[in-house]
């Protein structure tokens, strides 16, 4: 592969987006729809006071984690920030456990102690769930260091936002990752805004795929609304890292439909801008349209899938609503081992 430096990235990114098989389309459809419905439910439950604090929804960005996950192998790690529900669901963590964490109940992934922003699953190699913007980038690089150290063939997939991409520790990590050829894939989820700040108001270099240029880390810009494009890019990046060639940057061009968190009125962008994204680029609608156009499935079959997913989400909401709060004794557990 001709990806020695960032300038070669256009050659690395083939123009044509490989087609998905019917199974792949259906898999992507299900996975993305699960995230969408889960997040909608979480939004509702927040409004009802069942979920407190900050709650950052992933609606609109589903193709990123689903496409990445489709290219990953067992043993590859995932780490991200606070907008993490989609990442967890895509690694196979249970909707029930995630939702119960959102409501702060004992059946949540962190026993109710972490909340929306802080969940983990060693079983699924999901390492959080971090509230400090940018912190996960160094941590994820450390996961890659451990892979390298153990020579276990695993890759650390490190997600962060366009806003997080301006934190200093990101570049400290980039340097070390390339210097030591660590198996890390940095996925920059460029959803155009960091809270109320659009990318061009915060970033001198708005092409995030070039953010590793001075360290010789290759990068690509990817249509993060097209799950097929994400998966294809993920395969290139993961393959590169797994081959011992070092880190790789994927800038996922995506969009968040909702406000930054539940308390953001999102006055910094127009309704038309959001509506245009929803109607023209929605990641789930794209798959749905392809499935129907090609006659791979019927409307009824898709309806049945929707129904199944609603059931999973409703069961999760129900569990998360009725599961008891943690036992008061939990206040003092898990502080030291």
Ligand X SMILES: Cc1ncc(C[n+]2csc(CCOP(=O)(O)OP(=O)(O)O)c2C)c(N)n1
The one of Mg ion, ligand X, other proteins, none whose footprint includes residue 48, by CB under 5 to 8 A per kind, is other proteins
Among 146, 202, 274, 312, binds other proteins (CB under 8 A): 202
Comparing CB distances to ligand X, the nearer of 35 and 100 is 35
- Which residue's structure tokens are 């070669």? 8
Q: Is 310 in the site for other proteins (CB under 8 A)?
A: yes
Q: Is 100 in the site for ligand X (CB under 6 A)?
A: no
Residues of span 179-198 touching ligand X by CB under 6 A: 189, 191, 193-195
Q: Is 164 in the site for ligand X (CB under 6 A)?
A: yes
Q: How far apart are CA 185 and CA 177, in angstroms?
A: 10
Q: For ligand X, which residue has the nearest CB?
A: 161
Comparing CB distances to ligand X, the nearer of 25 and 162 is 162
Comparing CB distances to Mg ion, the nearer of 129 and 161 is 161
Q: How far apart are CA 334 and CA 337, in angstroms?
A: 6
CB of 50 to other proteins, least distance (A): 5
Residues of span 271-300 touching other proteins by CB under 8 A: none
Q: Is 156 in the site for Mg ion (CB under 5 A)?
A: no
The one of Mg ion, other proteins, ligand X, none whose footprint includes residue 83, by CB under 5 to 8 A per kind, is ligand X
Residues of span 263-302 touching ligand X by CB under 6 A: none
The one of Mg ion, ligand X, other proteins, none whose footprint includes residue 10, by CB under 5 to 8 A per kind, is none
Per-residue interface string for the shown chain with ligand X, residues 110-139, x marking contact by CB under 6 A:
---------------------xxx------
Judged by CB under 8 A, the stretch of 44-52, 71-79, 208-216, 297-305 that binds other proteins is 44-52
Q: Is 134 in the site for Mg ion (CB under 5 A)?
A: no
Q: What's the per-residue H, E or C state across the chain?
A: CCCCCHHHHHHHCCCCCCCCCHHHHHHHHHHHHHHHHHHHHHHHHHHCCCCCCCCCCCCCCHHHHHHHHHHCCCCCEEEECCCCHHHHHHCCCCHHHHHHHHCCCCCCCCCCCCCCCCCCECCCCEEEECCCCCHHHHHHHHHHHHHHHHCCCCCEEEEEECCHHHCHHHHHHHHHHHHCCCCEEEEEEECCEECCEEHHHHCCCCCHHHCCHHHCCCEEEEECCCHHHHHHHHHHHHHHHHCCCCCEEEEEECCCCCCCCCCCCCCCCCHHHHHHHHHHHCHHHHHHHHHHHCCCCCHHHHHHHHHHHHHHHHHHHHHHHHCCCCCHHHHHCCCCC
Contact set with other proteins (CB under 8 A): 40-41, 43-50, 52-54, 101, 103-105, 110, 112-118, 130-134, 163-164, 166-168, 194-197, 201-203, 262-265, 268, 310-311, 314, 317-318, 320-322, 325-326, 328, 330-332, 335
């Amino acid at each position: 592969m001709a990806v020695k430096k960032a300038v070669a990235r256009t050659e690395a990114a083939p123009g044509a987006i490989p087609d998905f098989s019917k199974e792949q389309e259906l898999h992507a459809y299900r996975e993305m729809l699960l995230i969408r419905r889960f997040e909608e439910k979480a939004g509702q439950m927040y409004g009802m006071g069942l979920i407190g604090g900050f709650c950052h929804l992933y609606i609109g960005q589903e193709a990123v984690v689903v496409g990445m996950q489709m290219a990953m192998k067992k043993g590859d790690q995932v780490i991200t920030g606070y907008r993490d529900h989609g990442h967890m669901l895509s690694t196979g963590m249970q909707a029930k456990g995630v939702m119960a964490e959102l409501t702060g109940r004992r059946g949540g992934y962190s026993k109710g102690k972490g909340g929306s922003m802080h969940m983990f699953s060693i079983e699924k190699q999901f390492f959080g769930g971090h509230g400090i913007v940018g912190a996960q980038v160094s941590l994820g690089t450390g996961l890659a260091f451990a892979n390298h150290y153990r020579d276990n063939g695993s890759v650390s997939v490190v997600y962060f936002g366009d806003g997080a991409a301006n934190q200093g520790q990101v570049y400290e990590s980039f340097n070390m990752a390339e210097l030591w050829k660590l198996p890390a894939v940095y996925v920059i989820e460029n959803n155009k805004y960091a809270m109320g700040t659009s990318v061009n108001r915060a970033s001198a270099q708005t092409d995030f795929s070039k953010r590793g240029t001075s360290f010789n880390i290759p990068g690509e810009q990817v249509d993060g609304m097209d799950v097929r494009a994400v998966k294809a890019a993920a395969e290139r990046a993961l393959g590169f890292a797994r081959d011992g060639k070092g880190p790789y940057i994927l800038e996922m061009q995506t969009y968040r439909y909702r406000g930054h968190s539940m308390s953001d009125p999102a006055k910094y962008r127009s309704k038309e801008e959001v509506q245009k994204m929803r109607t023209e680029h929605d990641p789930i609608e794209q798959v749905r349209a392809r499935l129907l156009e090609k006659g791979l499935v019927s409307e009824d079959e898709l309806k049945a899938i929707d129904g199944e997913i609603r059931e999973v989400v409703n069961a999760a909401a129900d569990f998360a609503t009725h599961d008891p709060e943690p036992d008061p004794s939990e206040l003092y557990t898990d502080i030291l081992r």
